[in-house]
Amino acid sequence: MTKEFAVPPVDFSGGSTTGANFQQRRAPAPPFQPPRPSSASSSIPFMSFDAASAAASTPAGPFGGTIASSSSFGGGGGYASFEDEEPLLDELGIHPDQIWKKTRSILNPFRINKTVHKDSDLSGPIFLYLALCLFQLLAGKIQFGVILGWVVVSSIFLYIVFNMLAGRNGNLNLHTCTSLVGYSLLPVVMLSAVSLFVPQGAGPVRFVIAAAFVLWATRACSNLVVSLADGGEEHRGLISYACFLIYTLFSLLVIF
């Protein structure tokens, strides 16, 4: 025998007690819910422009992409392409053609081109310094620090001697002295290369060859100092003596 149960009707209206209990059992709302913006541009304050119009104004590339204009890089003041940039050596202040002209002018001690040495630089002297250190290394002598120290001391010595002789008329700065001493080091570099093929037992021959190269370097350096600085013509002998002492010290490194 089946027993029937009486099920009361369910009222989903808000006025009934059951509906009120259902609304009370809902999950509570979070304490703060910011209002949803009406558009994507208003959510970010610094992106208030129209993205569609900006994309339409950008030219398309050959493969479907976009090409950035040159004004977007560097604010219009930079280079538009790599072809307009200067070579790396020029940006570093190294000019190989100028170094070659200055080095070639030292090869003839009787006719030195003084005009190419008006603009002093240190890239050529550094190259000659490294060449001298390399030839000394091939001879079994590690003298990188010694040669560098002597170049600095020699430049300061020539600068002090000349300015003491010229007095107020002296206009030779330390940078120019270092450049002239470095470029006039070319005969000593050649002496170091020649000494590799001279036997150690030929002492008098080595001294004669060294004296010839020292006189060469002395004449080149003294002529350049006298021609580029004011008031040096009347003190040519003393300037030549100072240059002779400088390059005699470098030749002693090569001989012994």
Tens-place pLDDT, residues 68-107: 444 444 444 455 566 777 777 777 778 888 999 999 999 8
Is 153 a domain residue?
A: yes
Q: What is the mean pLDDT of residues 8-29?
A: 54
Percentage of residues in the chain with pLDDT exceeding 70? 68
pLDDT for 175 beyond 80: yes
In the structure encoding, which two tokens stand for residue 90, read together? Answer: 């020029």
Per-residue pLDDT of 136-166, as tens digits, reads 999 999 999 999 999 999 999 999 999 888 8
Is 18 a domain residue?
A: no
d(C-alpha 189, C-alpha 89), whole Å: 24
Is 119 a domain residue?
A: yes
d(C-alpha 177, C-alpha 242), whole Å: 12
Is 55 a domain residue?
A: no
Q: What 3-state class would DSSP assign to 20?
A: helix
Instruction: Tell me what pLDDT residue 68 has.
Output: 47
- In this prediction the pTM is 0.66
In the structure encoding, which two tokens stand for residue 161, read together? Answer: 């001697």
* Total structural domains within the chain: 1
Is 120 a domain residue?
A: yes
Instruction: Tell me what pLDDT residue 6 has.
Output: 67
Selected residue with higher pLDDT from 221 and 59: 221
- Structural domain boundaries enclosing 230: 97-255
Q: What is the mean pLDDT of residues 125-133?
A: 95
DSSP 25: T
Q: What 3-state class would DSSP assign to 142?
A: coil
Instruction: Tell me what pLDDT residue 22 has.
Output: 46
| Short-list 236, 200, 199, 244, CA closest to 218 | 244
User: Any residues with CB less than 8 A from the CB of 96 and at least 6 apart, and which?
Assistant: 89
Instruction: Tell me what pLDDT residue 168 has.
Output: 74
Q: What is the mean pLDDT of residues 1-29?
A: 56
d(C-alpha 64, C-alpha 78), whole Å: 26
Is 75 a domain residue?
A: no
d(C-alpha 102, C-alpha 113), whole Å: 8
Beta bridge partners of 60: 66
Is 10 a domain residue?
A: no
Per-residue pLDDT of 201-237, as tens digits, reads 778 899 999 999 999 999 999 999 998 887 778 889 9
pLDDT for 179 beyond 70: yes
Is 243 a domain residue?
A: yes
pLDDT for 240 beyond 50: yes
